[in-house]
Amino acid sequence: MVQGELHGGSPETTITDIAEIQNATSTEVTFVGNSRYYKHLETTDAAAVILPAKYSGDFTPRIVVQNPQLAVKILIDHFRPLRPQSFEGVHETAVIHQTAKIGENVTIGPGAVIGLDSIIGDKTIIGSNVNIGQECSVGHDTHIYPGVTLYDRCTIGARVILHSGTVIGSDGYGFTQEDGIHKKIRQVGSVRIEDDVEIGSNCSIDRATLGETIIGEGSKLDNLVQIGHNVKIGKGCLIVAQVGIAGSTKLGDYVIVGGQAGFAGHLQIGDQVTVASKAGVTKDIDAGQTVSGFPAIPHNDDRRQIVYIRQLPEMVQRLKDLEGKLAQGDSSE
Amino acid sequence: MVQGELHGGSPETTITDIAEIQNATSTEVTFVGNSRYYKHLETTDAAAVILPAKYSGDFTPRIVVQNPQLAVKILIDHFRPLRPQSFEGVHETAVIHQTAKIGENVTIGPGAVIGLDSIIGDKTIIGSNVNIGQECSVGHDTHIYPGVTLYDRCTIGARVILHSGTVIGSDGYGFTQEDGIHKKIRQVGSVRIEDDVEIGSNCSIDRATLGETIIGEGSKLDNLVQIGHNVKIGKGCLIVAQVGIAGSTKLGDYVIVGGQAGFAGHLQIGDQVTVASKAGVTKDIDAGQTVSGFPAIPHNDDRRQIVYIRQLPEMVQRLKDLEGKLAQGDSSE
Amino acid sequence: MVQGELHGGSPETTITDIAEIQNATSTEVTFVGNSRYYKHLETTDAAAVILPAKYSGDFTPRIVVQNPQLAVKILIDHFRPLRPQSFEGVHETAVIHQTAKIGENVTIGPGAVIGLDSIIGDKTIIGSNVNIGQECSVGHDTHIYPGVTLYDRCTIGARVILHSGTVIGSDGYGFTQEDGIHKKIRQVGSVRIEDDVEIGSNCSIDRATLGETIIGEGSKLDNLVQIGHNVKIGKGCLIVAQVGIAGSTKLGDYVIVGGQAGFAGHLQIGDQVTVASKAGVTKDIDAGQTVSGFPAIPHNDDRRQIVYIRQLPEMVQRLKDLEGKLAQGDSSE
């Protein structure tokens, strides 16, 4: 099933589930994806362990695969089928505006609210107490978890997953000062979330001032991520938890951003850029670069900087020695 | 309308809307606020472009104004009138305690809950599934978006905007250790949000232990901001996304704080201080200062530090050269 | 009541409440826990001030105690009894699956939803518009504030407090790449929140891929905290606001983490470790260590580094002086 090579053990063994290596029993298969956990091989009771090709030990029975994560995905899909929902269909306490259009086989949970002229695609699941504004469009086979809010005129694609507490389409942070008072620039643009995007819990995705804020096809956002107004995220990007991207910044495709990193506004970030955790990006970045630090610089330069900083005490000592020698030299002249 | 000066084009042209420069059509007006986007002037189809006084090119037709953002505000207010709500008035599924006092022309959305003795001002809009505790007071013309929670005894002013997912009045982080156990100090104070404040989505504003946590008049908070117990924010402050302010810290008026910055507790920050993004403020700051870095220092010093750090490889080389010369000198003596 | 020693004043004075030092009236007791606030002693109207043993001034009447915070806790508990809820009992608009088991004296607020086979312990309070999935277990005397979401199969202990907007059990951030496409690894594990835990508002606690994400007994999380899949937090930990802990990292007991700090994944952090605010932890940390900076290093080393960095301008000058002297020496030879 996982296209692996079995070493030791019997191909006849019946496997009933997949489990973590510390907890797996003699009828369960487990895996080690990270060499930090090879130590658990000594004590596991698992029926077999999925290991990466680079594993050089002699543990058996093992199933060697190219990509243990993919094998785990396949086995979870196999052993843990989706369960039925507590509340199927459109719940009687959901409040759906009479002008909204609801597709076939849609689930709408208790207390969910759907506004004027909004459209919900077939087989989409909308959790309890979700708030969907007016003129929104939600694609088919999408899952919106409880407590999500969509403001008016947001577009959500097909097979999208939005986790609880996430807010899509709140006003961008736009003010102009007039006589010492911050006057609100109304945010009349919208948000477009393309197909196959997943957004974690408690994220804030602001609507555009004019035009659209866009999260590109297949991109995956972790929890507590901040996306400013008019930001464009390309396709297949990975944005880890607590990242903040300020207004109008554009990320290319397949950009990877580590946790707690931040971007200034109005930047252009090329395709396949990698930004390390906690980095602060203040300038445009060309495609393919890896940056870290604040202000973010090429990762190798940043690493070298850290090494140099750690040598500072030694440098000060060397400077002192030189000064001492020179003073001696002076006085001996 | 925007009090600008028209260069080229005809004052007779009919304008139907405002749009982003890349998307504007021949009947729409657009703007460039940031010189990064002057390049789009070459390809725009817009009927006219609003440009700042500092623009020195010869693009026409252009409308030159002192403050392009203010012009954008005026044009959005003109071309994009507010739309009617999906659900006007008090929705039949809202749950309002019989002792609560609701003003005139109030909208209360489906599933919203208002507790004992709370008061809602005239023309205020309360979104769907909003939770308002007991003894709260909400001013007139305020807009509370879906999914906001106010804990008991919070006071919200007039013309305030609270975006979805924001929590006002959750318990401050107060514990005292007793025999190795963290015992909760009950947080019995409250929160006061003054007039004309706007707070973004998914913010956490903790109630005071005793007394009040205060967000001053006209201050604007972006998304995912953390305000600890007993914090006082002055008037007209701008607090960008993902900032955290620890307990009892006081900000003066017109303080500006960049994204992901943090403040230790019990600090005094003067009026018109600017704190750069990602800064970590650990000490009091006098009025008018601009600080950055962690620990935060005057911005010029921080910038100089960064320059010096970048010179470290060169410094090490110079040190090596000196040592070499001196060693040579020694041996030649 | 607070086991303090009274200096000055009369033990007969009637105290009616506890208040902050700036606001306390002549019938209220107040406290100063932080020497920064001794200055308010000159102007307070309070009937008496609770002061720590280390206070060396002669203000009277004062009540000297070992732990002012503990005294404040005791006095708040005394003077500010808990108030009745707006909506007691199970509200008629709550939606409770017929298979769910609800204990005695439980409060379930308006619009709250409880899924299939979930169990709620005695005397537990569930706020309005809370979403509880299926097969969840919530212990007794627990308080879940409005707008919290529990995904399916989460276990919450007794006397737990979960603040509004917090999401427990959202999917961990797990994907595997297949032909350039990020494929979701379904997250089929769960979350266990042990007894006496308190979690602030708008936190995100992800479920495990397999197995459990665990928040250990008596640990206290502040607001906007991110806990990745399969993280284990020990007992009695304090995790301040906006901290992020990446997947599979394990914290020991009584670990303290300052605001906005972050941890990489798969780390082992020993008991009683302290991590300073904004630190970025990239390696395992032995028990009892205090670390700061990014990458985090022992706090004393980090402090020394900062001092050295501040000396850089002076170092460059000294280097220049040496080079000058040596050049002179050369030319004079």
Q: Give the contacts of C90 (CB within 8 A, at least 6 positions apart).
A: C96, C102, C106, C107, C108
Residues of A in contact with B196 (CB under 8 A): 181
Chain A touched by B309 (CB under 8 Å)? yes
pLDDT value at position B2? 86
Instruction: Work out the burial of residue A122: count CB atoms within 10 Å of its CB; fewer than 13 is exposed, 13-18 middle, 19 or more buried.
Output: middle
Residue B194 pLDDT: 98
Count of residues in chain C? 333
Cβ atoms < 10 Å from Cβ of C27: 14
Please write down the HEC assignment for all residues of chain B. Answer: CCCCEEECCCCCCCCCEECCCCCCCCCEEEECCCHHHHHHHHCCCCCEEEEECCCCCCCCCEEEECCHHHHHHHHHHHHCCCCCCCCCCECCCCEECCCCEECCCCEECCCCEECCCCEECCCCEECCCCEECCCCEECCCCEECCCCEECCCCEECCCCEECCCCEEEECCCCEEEECCEEEECCCCCEEEECCCCEECCCCEEECCCCCEEEECCCCEECCCCEECCCCEECCCCEECCCCEECCCCEECCCCEECCCCEECCCCEECCCCEECCCCEECCCECCCCEEECCCCEEHHHHHHHHHHHHCHHHHHHHHHHHHHHHHHHHHHC
- The yes-or-no verdict on residue B290 having pLDDT over 60 is yes
| pLDDT tens figures, A45-62 | 999 999 999 999 999 899
Nearest-CB residue to C129 (from A22, A111, A315):
A111
- What pLDDT score was predicted for residue C331? 64
Size of interface A-B (CB pairs under 8 A): 190
Cα distance from A82 to chain B (closest Cα, Å)? 28
Task: List the single best residue of A128, A243, A309 to mutate versus C (max C Cβ within 10 A).
Answer: A128
* pLDDT at residue C330, as a whole number: 64
Contacts of A208 in chain B (CB under 8 A): 20
Q: Does C294 sit within 8 Å of A278, measured CB to CB?
A: yes
* Three-class HEC string of chain A: CCCCEEECCCCCCCCCEECCCCCCCCCEEEECCCHHHHHHHHCCCCCEEEEECCCCCCCCCEEEECCHHHHHHHHHHHHCCCCCCCCCCECCCCEECCCCEECCCCEECCCCEECCCCEECCCCEECCCCEECCCCEECCCCEECCCCEECCCCEECCCCEECCCCEEEECCCCEEEECCEEEECCCCCEEEECCCCEECCCCEEECCCCCEEEECCCCEECCCCEECCCCEECCCCEECCCCEECCCCEECCCCEECCCCEECCCCEECCCCEECCCCEECCCECCCCEEECCCCEEHHHHHHHHHHHHCHHHHHHHHHHHHHHHHHHHHHC
User: What's residue B327's pLDDT?
Assistant: 81
Nearest to A244 among B164, B242, B254 (CB): B242
Within a 10 A sphere around the Cβ of B327, how many other Cβ atoms? 11
Q: Are C188 and C206 in contact (CB under 8 A)?
A: no
Chain B residues touching C127 at Cβ < 8 A: 131
CA distance B172 to chain A (A): 20
Identify the residue among A162, A203, A278, A304 best suited for mutation to test binding to C, counting C beta carbons within 10 A and taking the highest. A278
- One-letter amino acid at B136 equals C
How many angstroms separate the Cα of A287 from the Cα of each of A234, A272, C255, C315? 13, 6, 40, 37
User: B188 vs C80: CB contact, 8 Å cut-off?
Assistant: yes
What pLDDT does residue B167 have?
Answer: 98
A99: left (phi over 0), alpha (psi -120 to 50) or beta: alpha
Judging contacts by C-beta atoms under 8 Å, the chain A residues touching residue C330 are: none
pLDDT (average), residues A192-206: 98
Mutation test of the interface with chain A: which of C93, C114, C131, C248, choosing the one with the most A Cβ atoms within 10 A? C131
Contacts of B184 in chain C (CB under 8 A): 73, 161, 198
How far is residue A90's CA from residue A265's CA, in Å, rounded to a whole number? 41
| Mutation for B interface: A117, A175, A188, A275, most B CBs within 10 A | A188
Q: Residue C259 — φ and ψ, nearest 5°? A: -60, 145
> How many whole angstroms from its chain centre is CA B1?
28
Q: Identify the closest residue of chain B to A242 by CA–CA distance.
A: B242
CB B287 within 8 A of CB B272: yes
Among residues A88, A18, A78, A89, the alpha carbon closest in space to that of A47 is found at A18
Cross-chain Cβ contact C95/A80 below 8 Å = no
**Contact status of A306 with chain C (Cβ, < 8 Å):** yes
Q: Are C157 and C139 in contact (CB under 8 A)?
A: yes
| A202 → closest Cβ in C165, C176, C181 | C165
Residue C17: in which H helix or E strand, if any?
strand C17-18
Contact C132, C112 (CB under 8 A): yes
Tell me which residues of chain B, numbers 166 to 195, contact chain A at a CB-CB cutoff of 8 Å.
Answer: none
Mind listing the pLDDT tens digit of every residue in chain C (333 residues)?
888 999 998 888 899 999 999 999 999 999 998 888 999 999 999 999 999 999 999 999 999 999 999 999 999 999 999 888 899 999 999 999 999 999 999 999 999 999 999 999 999 999 999 999 999 999 999 999 999 999 999 999 999 999 999 999 999 999 999 888 999 999 999 999 999 999 999 999 999 999 999 999 999 999 999 999 999 999 999 999 999 999 999 999 999 999 999 999 999 999 999 999 999 999 999 999 999 999 999 999 999 999 999 989 888 899 899 888 888 776 665
| The two three-digit tokens of residue A186, written as one number | 């109304």
| Contact in structure between C198 and C143 (CB atoms under 8 Å) | no
Interface test with C, best of A50, A164, A330 (most C CBs within 10 A): A164
- Neighbouring chains of C at 3+ CB pairs within 8 Å? A, B
Q: How many CA atoms lie within 13 A of A161 on its CB side?
A: 17
B326 CB neighbours in chain A (<8 A) are 322, 325-326, 329
Determine contact: A244 vs chain C, CB below 8 A: no
The reply to whether C307 touches chain B by the CB within 8 Å rule is: no
**Best CA proximity match to B55, nearest among B40, B33, B70, B71:** B33
Percent share of chain C, pLDDT over 90: 85
CA distance A316 to chain C (A): 8
**Which active-site residues of A does the annotation give?**
229
Distance (Å, rounded) from C-alpha B197 to C-alpha A175? 12
- Please give the pLDDT value at position B85: 87
Q: Assess A313–B contact: CB distance below 8 Å, yes or no.
A: no
Average pLDDT for A109-113 = 98
Q: Which residues, in sequence order, are CB contacts of C25 under 8 Å at separation 6+? A: C19, C45, C46, C47
pLDDT of B197 over the 90 cut: yes
Contact state of C95 with A77 under an 8 Å Cβ cutoff: no
Nearest CA-CA distance, residue A238 and chain B, Å: 19
Cβ-based contacts of C109 with chain B (< 8 Å)? 113
Q: Do residues B64 and B55 touch, judged by C-beta distance below 8 A?
A: yes
Report pLDDT for A142: 98
Tell me which chain B residues have a C-beta less than 8 angstroms from the C-beta of C83: 134, 152
Residue A332: its pLDDT value, please?
60
Band (pLDDT 50/70/90 cuts) for residue A246 is very high
Long-range interactions of A284-287: CB distance < 8 A, separation 24+? A287/A252
pLDDT over threshold 60, residue B3: yes
pLDDT value for C326: 82
Whether A298 has its CB under 8 Å from any CB of chain C: the answer is no
Give the minimum alpha-carbon distance from B22 to chain C in angstroms, rounded to a whole number: 30
CA distance C177 to chain B (A): 30
Q: Does A327 touch chain C (CB under 8 A)?
A: no
Tell whether A95 is within 8 A of chain B (Cβ).
yes
What is the value of pTM for the model shown? 0.96
Tokens 């001696």, residue? A328
C-alpha to C-alpha distance for A140 and C256, rounded to whole angstroms: 45
Q: Length of chain A, please? A: 333
Out of A23, A146, A326, name the one closest to residue C211 (CB): A23
Q: Do A246 and B242 touch (CB under 8 A)?
A: no
For all residues of chain B together, what is the average pLDDT? 95
Distance from CA of B175 to the nearest CA of A (A): 25
Nearest to A308 among B87, B220, B316 (CB): B316
What's the pLDDT at B332? Answer: 60
Output the six-digit token pair for B20.
Answer: 């982003």
Q: Is the pLDDT of residue B249 over 60?
A: yes
Q: Which residue has the higher pLDDT, C311 or B95?
A: B95
Please tell me the predicted confidence (pLDDT) of residue C332. 60
Cβ separation of C211 and A238 shorter than 8 Å?
Answer: no
Partner C contacted by B260 (CB < 8 A): yes
Q: What is the mean pLDDT of residues A61-86?
A: 93
Domains present along chain A, CATH in parentheses:
5-79 (3.40.1390.10), 148-295 (2.160.10.10)
Within an 8 Å CB–CB cutoff, is residue B211 touching chain C?
yes
Give residue C323's pLDDT: 87
Q: Cα separations (Å) of C240 from A83, B265, C226?
A: 36, 12, 11
Of C210, C295, C329, the CB nearest to A18: C210
pLDDT in tens, A130-172: 999 999 999 999 999 999 999 999 999 999 999 999 999 999 9
- Inspect the interface and report whether the beta carbons of B185 and C72 lie closer than 8 Å: yes
- B148 pLDDT higher than 90: yes
Residue with tokens 């032909």: C179
Q: Which residues contact C328 (CB under 8 A, 6 or more apart)?
A: none
- Is residue A313 scored above 90 in pLDDT? no
Tell whether A287 is within 8 A of chain B (Cβ).
Answer: no
The answer to whether A54 faces chain C, any CB pair under 8 Å, is no
CB A28 within 8 A of CB A39: no
Q: Residues A254, A259, A263, CA angle at the centre, nearest 5°?
A: 70
Angle at Cα C40 formed by Cα C35 and Cα C46, nearest 5°? Answer: 115
**End-to-end C-alpha distance for chain C, whole angstroms:** 84
Q: How far apart are CA C217 and CA C194, in angstroms?
A: 5
Euclidean distance between CA atoms B291 and C192, whole angstroms: 42
Question: Which chain B residues contact residue A97 at CB under 8 A?
Answer: 86-87
Q: How many residues are there in chain B?
A: 333
Q: For strands B297-298 and B290-292, give the pairing.
A: antiparallel
